[in-house]
Amino acid sequence: MYPYLRLGPFLLQLPLLALLVGVWIGSALAEKEAVRLKLPSATINNLVFIVIIAGIVGARLAYAARYLSVYLANPLSLFALNFNTMAGFDGVLIGLVFAALYGWRKKLPLRPTLDALAPGLAAFMVALSLAHTLSGDAFGAPANLPWSIYLWNEYRHPSQVYETLAALAVLFVAYKKPFGQVGNGTNFLLVVALLSAARIFLEAFRGDSLILLGGFRAAQVIGLIVLAITLYTLRIWTQTGIPTTTKSESDFFKQT
């Protein structure tokens, strides 16, 4: 685990660097896929950019809203370069809402756009797992196995390695596109379904799970819900495998 690298007076956060590289590679893959699907690559790039900016700003504002009196007294703290003061889940939601609004405003066809984003999402998940490896976050449960690693004063499952291997496998599937390149959204759904399945399986080896009533692990429960929705949608979309299914989508392709 190498969370920080000192460069003179600066303390470089290596997990953050891994995430930035992930965003860069992910957006490059999304751009490439957009060209293949005859989508405007600049608009797809903007979409990724909006998700990130809206997510970061939203995460900070959502955190500040929880401590409103504190931030009203010190409004400049909103601009502090500190990742401890971000509401991560809220940030993801806000980023997705802004992306949906942008896509709707630009009349981006939903299903081809999702397919264009699929390899980028898979690449970002590889970067996220590497960030966990560097920081020691998302650590494994104590275990005495030949492949256990010594981390945080105990021998544990190398959960970050499991996560990286699973993410690489999903990236490989996203690259191979088993459903072809028709742009009907099924490649994206497949990536999300595989990521959810991996989360459900691998969460059992984690030592930092959020535990719900009855001892259920929150990530597994959420993963199951996402998997059910994804598989159901995948079933419908594979049966109606047409790239342009709505009027706005047809209009978009006519324009381009």
Our CA dihedral for 223, 238, 181, 113, rounded to 10 degrees, sits at -60
Which amino acid appears at position 52 of this protein? I
**67 binds another protein per the rule CB under 8 A:** yes
- Beta strands 149-151 and 154-156 are antiparallel
**214 binds another protein per the rule CB under 8 A:** yes
- Cβ within 8 Å of residue 14, ≥6 positions away: 2, 3, 4, 5, 134, 135
**102 binds another protein per the rule CB under 8 A:** no
Alpha helices in 83-185 (DSSP H): 88-105, 110-135, 159-176
Binding mask 111-150 for another protein (x = CB under 8 A): -------------------------x----x---------
Question: By C-beta, is 110 or 221 nearer to another protein?
Answer: 221
Which amino acid appears at position 178 of this protein? P
Shortest Cβ 83–another protein spacing (Å): 9
Positions in the binding site for another protein (CB under 8 A): 3-4, 6, 9, 11, 63-64, 66-67, 70-71, 73-74, 76-77, 80, 82, 84-85, 136, 141, 152-154, 197, 200-201, 203-204, 207-209, 211, 214-217, 220-221, 223-224, 227-228, 231-232, 235
